[in-house]
Chain A
Amino acid sequence: MYGNDFPADDTSSGLLGEVEAAETALREAAERGRHGAAGADPAAYFAEVIAADQKVEPRDWMPEAYRATLIRQIAQHAHSEIIGMQPEGNWITRAPSLKRKAILLAKVQDEAGHGLYLYAAAETLGVSRDELVDLLLAGRQKYSSIFNYPTLSWADMGTIGWLVDGAAIVNQVPLCRCSYGPYARAMIRICKEESFHQRQGYELLHTLAHGTPAQREMAQDSVNRWWYPSLAMFGPPDTDSTHSAQSMAWKIKRFSNDELRQRFVDMCVGQAEVLGLTLPDPALCWNDERGGYDFTQPDYAELMRVIKGAGPCNRQRMEHRRRAHREGAWVRAAAAAYAAKQASKKEQASKKEKVA
Chain B
Amino acid sequence: MSEYSEPTSQPGGAPPAPLWEVFVRARRGLAHTHVGSLHAADAELALHNARDLYTRRQEGVSIWVLPAAAITASSPDEKDAFFDPAADKVYRHPTFYEVPEGAAHL
Residues of chain A at the chain B interface (Cβ within 8 Å): 1-2, 5, 36-39, 57-61, 106, 109-110, 113, 116-117, 120, 123-131, 134, 185-186, 189, 193, 332-333, 335-336, 338-339, 342-343
Contacts and interface: CB of A to CB of B under 8 A. Distances in A.
Interface stretch (B3-11, B88-96, B97-105): B3-11
B56 interface: yes
Contacts of A193: 57
Nearest to B46: A339
18 contacts: A1-B26, A2-B59, A37-B80, A59-B5, A59-B75, A59-B76, A117-B53, A123-B19, A124-B5, A125-B5, A128-B8, A130-B11, A130-B13, A186-B36, A335-B42, A336-B41, A339-B45, A342-B42
B40 A1 contact: no
A333 B41 CA distance: 9
A127 B16 CA distance: 12
A61 B79 CA distance: 13
Contact of B40 (A38, A126, A335): A335
B76 A57 contact: yes
B36 A117 contact: yes
**Interface size grouping (class) on chain B:** 35 or more
A36 B80 contact: yes
B86 interface: no
Nearest 3 pairs between A and B by C-beta?
A: A126-B5, A339-B42, A339-B41
A39 B59 CA distance: 39
A1 B35 CA distance: 10
Contact of B56 (A1, A58, A113): A113
A185 B33 CA distance: 13
B3 A59 contact: yes
A58 B5 contact: yes
A39 B82 CA distance: 13
Given A116-B53, A335-B17, A336-B41, 11 more contacts: A36-B80, A37-B79, A58-B5, A109-B56, A120-B38, A126-B7, A127-B7, A128-B8, A129-B16, A131-B11, A342-B42
Contacts of A109: 56
A128 B42 contact: no
Contacts of A127: 7-8
A327 to B, nearest CB: 16
A110 B52 CA distance: 10
B10 A1 contact: no
A342 B4 CA distance: 27
Interface string B1-43: 0011111101101101101000010100000010111111110
A130 B3 contact: no
Nearest to B10: A130
B106 interface: no
A131 B8 contact: yes
B70 interface: no
B16 A130 contact: yes
Nearest to A109: B56
A34 to B, nearest CB: 10
A60 B76 contact: yes
B36 A120 contact: yes
Contacts of B5: 58-59, 124-126
Contacts of B77: 37-39, 61
Contacts of A5: 57-59
B68 to A, nearest CB: 9
Which of B8, B16, B45 is packed against the most chain A CB atoms within 10 Å? B16
A257 B58 CA distance: 35
Given A59-B76, A125-B5, A336 B17 contact: yes
B17 A332 contact: yes
B53 A113 contact: yes
A181 B42 CA distance: 28
B40 A128 contact: no
A335 B45 contact: yes
Contacts of A57: 76
B37 A338 contact: no
A157 B33 CA distance: 35
Contacts of A131: 7-8, 10-11
